[in-house]
Amino acid sequence: MATATQAALIRAAHRLQVAYDILDRLQLVERWRPFGNPILVGAVAYELVVAPDIDLEIYCDEPRIEDGFTVLRACALQPGTRKVRFANELDGPDQGLYWQVRYRHATGQEWKIDMWSMRRDHPGPTSASLVEPMKRALTDETRRAILEIKEGLLLDPTVQCGSIHVYRAVLGAGVRTLDGFKVWLADNRVEGLVDWRPNSPAQSSGGK
């Protein structure tokens, strides 16, 4: 019988499998390649999937609205696609073009796919630059803590914050529980873009 820790990891592995199935069915990476360099980022890249979300960043010589709509149109025609969305944020803090697909998987769950097309020389912070540091920093202990906190947050609508703040708390401040994260959250800024990178496991602080 799986322990609570093993169960969290098993659930995450199943969600990761679903995410890759959606990426394959929509052929998102392949559809973006003619227009730039698509990079899988966020929870799917870290193998820490809890919420039904997939994130991509596409680095282009020049982000073009017509290119994104070529991809969006192809996705909209696929069985399972429920909604698509576009926003021009080139003049905003994100400095990119935003694309979203809402896709209903065969499991019946609706997934949100967020995509940003940005210039190759984007000044940051970007999610792509966080992928390798996150992979190096994660241990079995911190992976478990992150998954359990994220699962708890999914059931608590009173707490609204991006997953990067869970990573900051666990990998940067040694938080290990949902209650500990709520305490950390009260003392730390979670608005706006965050330029943060984790330390290596040897440098991480002890548990709370």
Residue 198 has pLDDT above 50, yes or no: yes
Out of 98, 123, 148, pick the residue that ends a domain. Answer: 123
Q: Are residues 119 and 145 in the same domain?
A: no
Q: How far apart are CA 156 and CA 56, in angstroms?
A: 26
Q: Are residues 110 and 49 in the same domain?
A: yes
Q: Are residues 49 and 142 in the same domain?
A: no
Query: What values do phi and psi take at 102, rounded to 5?
Result: -105, 120
pTM of the complete model: 0.91
Query: Which residue range is the domain that position 166 belongs to?
Result: 138-203
By DSSP bridging, strand 53-60 and strand 110-119 are parallel
Mind listing the pLDDT tens digit for each residue in 101-148? 999 999 999 999 999 999 999 999 999 999 999 999 999 999 999 999
Q: Are residues 51 and 114 in the same domain?
A: yes
For residue 133, being part of any structural domain is answered with no
For residue 55, being part of any structural domain is answered with yes
Residues 6+ apart with CB under 8 A from 26: 75, 78, 81, 101, 103, 113
Q: Are residues 76 and 152 in the same domain?
A: no
Q: Are residues 59 and 110 in the same domain?
A: yes
Q: Return the pLDDT at 208.
A: 36
Residue 207 has pLDDT above 80, yes or no: no
Q: How far, in Å, are 56, 112, 115, 119 from residue 208 at the CA level?
A: 32, 32, 35, 40
| Structural tokens at position 165 | 């703040």
Q: Are residues 56 and 149 in the same domain?
A: no
CATH, residue 16: 3.30.460.10
Query: What values do phi and psi take at 2, rounded to 5?
Result: -70, 140
Count of structural domains within the chain: 2
Q: Are residues 104 and 153 in the same domain?
A: no
